[in-house]
Structure 1
Amino acid sequence: MTDTDPTASEKTVPEKQDASGAGLDARLVVERPPFRLDVTLTAAPGDVVALLGPNGAGKTTALRALAGLVPLTDGHLRLDGAELERVPPERRPVGVVFQDYLLFPHLTALDNVAFGPRCHGVPKAEARAQAAGWLDRMGLAGHAGAKPRRLSGGQAQRVALARALATHPRLLLLDEPLAALDARTRLEVRAQLRRHLAEFEAVAVLVTHDPLDAMVLADRLVVIEDGQVVQEGTPGHIARHPRTDYIAHLIGLNLYQGQADGHTVRLPDGPEITTTEELTGPVFVTFPPTAVTLYRDRPAGTSARNLWRCEVAGMETHGDQIRADLTGELPLAAGLTTVAAAELGLHPGAQVWATVKAAQTHAYPA
C-alpha cells in the first residue's frame, strides 16, 4: 500500500517514555465481572492522549484508575518513573477536570483555584496569589470574586482547568471537558483549551465522545472497545485507516473488510468492490458517504466501476445533507443534498442503484 503520509507507519506506534523514565507508563487492569478493562497507555511529557470509544467501553474507568479513584486489579502505573498503584489519590501528582467541573459552590473562583496549593501546604496568601495568576492566564482575572453560580459554562470550565493546573501536576486528566457547553461556547473554549494544553509540559489524557474534540486537542488517539485498545495512532492516521465499525462511523466512512486480489476486494457476505490500490490478502476498504451516487433506475453509461442494487432503510439530516442508510447487495451510507433526495423521491423502502468510482475508495492491509 502507498500511504499519502510517508511517516504514517511510524505514527501508529505510541510514543515511548524518554530515557530518563519521564512520562506515563501504565497497564490498567480493572476487573468488574462481567466487564474487564485491560488497557496499556504510554506517553511522554508534552503528549496529549485522547481516549475514544462507545458508551461502556471503559474510557472513564481508565481515567479513574489513573486518578486512583478505582483500584487496579492487576498491571502497573508509573509516572516519571515513580510507582503510583498504592499511592492514595490525594497524594498523586495528578490534576483532574471532571465533566461537571465540581467547583466548590461556596468558594469564589479565586479560592477554588487556591484550594489545591493550600492542600499542598502553600500559605494562604501565596496560594491566593498563585490562583490569581492562573485566573489571569485563563482570561478570568475579572471574575476572581465570583462564585460558580455566577459563572458561565465556559468560565466554569476554565476555572476548573486552572484549579487542576495550580498544583503543577505531572498528569492532567480531563473527563469530557467540553461536554457541558453549548455549541457556540464549545467552539471558543476548545480553541482556548488547545492553547493551554500546548503549553502544558507534562502528560495530558482526555476522555471524549466527540471526534472533533479528539482531533483538535490530541496528539494521539487511543480507541477503546469492550475494555480493550482496538486502535491507536495520530488523528490523521486513524482518520485515513479506521479498523472497526465504531471508528468508521465516528469519522463518517463506509468500512468493509475482505480479501484483495489486485484491484478487486471480495467481501465475505457481499459483492466485490473495485479499488484504486492493487493489493493482495486481507484488507479494509473505505469510502465516504458523499462518494455514493444514487439512481432510481439502473444507470447506463456510468464510469463508476462499482454498482449495487439497494433499498433505502432510513434517512436523517446530517449537517447540510441527507444521510441515507441503505441495505441490499451492499449495506452502506450515502450522503446527498436535500434537493437531490427530493428529486429522487427517496423514502424508506425505495429501491435505488448505488455507484462508487474506484478512485473514491481507499484500500489498506487489514
Structure 2
Amino acid sequence: MSNLRTTAIEGTDDKGLDAHLIVDRGTFRLDIELTAAPGDVVALLGPNGAGKTTALRALAGLVHLTDGHLRLDGAELDRTPPESRPVGVVFQDYLLFPHLTALDNVGFGPRCQGATKAESRAIAAEWLDRMGLAEHAGAKPRRLSGGQAQRVAVARALATRPRLLLLDEPLAALDARTRLDVRAQLRRHLAEFEAVAVLVTHDPLDAMVLADRLVVIEQGTIVQEGTPADIARHPRTDYIAQLVGLNLYKGRADGHTVTLDTGPLITTTEDLQGEVFVAFPPSAVTLFRDRPTGASARNLWHCEVAGLETHGDQIRADLTGELPLAADLTTPAAAELDLHQGASVWATVKATQTHSYPA
C-alpha cells in the first residue's frame, strides 16, 4: 500500500461519513441522510434541481447547514471552514491553476498542509506516476488533453490524503472515447481509496460502474437508495425507470394480474397481492400495424406513435394510447412497419419479460 495513505482520525470508533444535511434556500429544502463507511463510493443521482450539488457543497462546507449534522470519522465538521476539512474535491471543469505545471498543481495541496517544496513535489510525482502522467509533470493545463487534465485534477484531490472525496460530474466534460478511458482509471483508483467517496453524476453508466451504492434524490429528498443492481431491477419512480431504461407502472396485483392505476391490465409471471410496481425494458415490446391474431404474448395494447428517435443503434418509439410506453426496434423493422408520428400500432409484451415487485 502506498505511503500516501492515511488512517482514520485517531481516538474514534466512528469511521466514515455520518451526515444529516438540511439546507433551506427559499422555496427549496434539502433534507437527506447520508452514511458511508471507509472505502464506500456513494453516487448521488437525480434530475436537475433535485439537490445533488447543494448536498455536495454542504459536505464541502461551501453551503452552511440550516440544521442537521455532519460527522466525518467521528469529528464534527458542521462549523469547520472548508479549507480546514479533510475533504478533496474534483470539479467537472477541472479548475487547475493555469500558471502552474501538472506537478505543482498536484503538489499545491500538500504544500498548503505544511509539506516542504521538495516533499510536496515528491508526493505529486508519485501521484502523477500512478495516474500514468509522469511524462506530463512539466506541462501546464493548456498543453494537456481533457482526459489528462481530469486525471491531474483527481491526483490533486487525492494528494491531500482526504477522508472524504467529492466528485462533481467528473467525466461530464470529456468526449465519449476519453470518458471511457478515464472512467476505467477512476474506477481503479476509487477501488483503492480507503476513505469515503461521494460522486454526483447525471450519467447512469458512470454511477453503475463507479459506485457501490446509489442514492437517488428528487425535490430535496431521498426517493430510493441501494446497490446499482437492486435499483436497476427495482426502480420506484419514473425518473429512475427512465435512468435505467425501463417502462415502469404502479398498480394492484391479484395473483398474476396487475390492474394499473391508469386502468389497463398487465399479466406477469410473479404471483403477488396488493400494491406493486411492474417494469419491462423497451426491447421487450413487439409492435404490429394490425391487431395480431396468433401472437403468444399475454399483454396487448392499442397505441399511437407519439415520436421516434435514434437510441444507440436502434429506434425508440414513444407510444401513447391504452398504455403509454417506450419500444425499441431496429431501423429495418421501423421502416417495414412504416412507423411515423401518429401511426396506429399494437404493442405486445410477453408475461415472462415483465417483472413485478411490491410497491
Q: Same fold (TM over 0.5)?
A: yes
Match in the other structure for 1:92? 85
Residues 1:275 and 2:268 aligned together:
yes
Deviations 1:64-105 (A, max 9, x none): 100000000010000000000000000000000011010000
Match of 1:136 among 107, 110, 129: 129
Q: Secondary structure at the match of 1:270?
A: coil
Match in the other structure for 1:303? 296
Match in the other structure for 2:323? 330
Paired AA for residue 298 in structure 1:
R
Unaligned 5+ runs, structure 1: 1-18
Deviation (angstroms), 1:302: 1.1
Match of 2:181 among 188, 193, 202: 188
Match in the other structure for 2:219? 226
Residues 1:167 and 2:160 aligned together:
yes
Aligned pairs for 1:283-294 within 5 A? 283-294=276-287
Match of 1:252 among 245, 249, 268: 245
Match in the other structure for 1:49? 42
Q: Distance in 1 between matches of 2:48 and 2:218?
A: 9
Match in the other structure for 1:156? 149
Deviations 1:90-149 (A, max 9, x none): 000000001101000000000001100111111111111111111111111101110000
Residues 1:347 and 2:348 aligned together:
no
Match in the other structure for 1:11? none
Match in the other structure for 1:5? none
Aligned pairs for 1:197-212 within 5 A? 197-212=190-205
Q: Secondary structure at the match of 1:172?
A: strand
Match in the other structure for 1:23? 16
Q: Distance in 2 between matches of 1:177 and 1:36?
A: 25
Deviations 1:270-308 (A, max 9, x none): 210000000000000000001001011000021110000
Deviation (angstroms), 1:339: 0.5
Match in the other structure for 1:4? none
Q: Distance in 1 between matches of 2:262 and 2:80?
A: 52
Note the aligned Cα RMSD (angstroms): 0.7
Q: Secondary structure at the match of 1:21?
A: coil
Unaligned 5+ runs, structure 2: 1-11
Match in the other structure for 1:8? none
Match of 2:306 among 313, 322, 337: 313
TM-score normalised by L of structure 1: 0.94
Aligned pairs for 1:9-20 within 5 A? 20=13
Deviation (angstroms), 1:351: 0.5
Match in the other structure for 1:83? 76
Residues 1:33 and 2:41 aligned together:
no
Moved over 2 A (4+): none
